[in-house]
Structure 1
Amino acid sequence: MSQDSFASGVAWKRATSCSADGNCVEVAQHAPGQIAIRDSKDLSQSPLVLTASSYADLIRRIKQSGL
Structure 2
Amino acid sequence: MLSKEKIARINELANKSKKEGLSKEEQKEQQELREAYLKNVRKSFKNHMKGMTVVDPNGNDVTPEKLKKLKQKK
State if a TM-score over 0.5 links the two structures. no
Structure with the bigger percentage of helix: 2
Q: Which structure has the greater CA radius of gyration?
A: 2
**TM-score, length basis structure 2:** 0.28
Structure with the bigger percentage of strand: 1
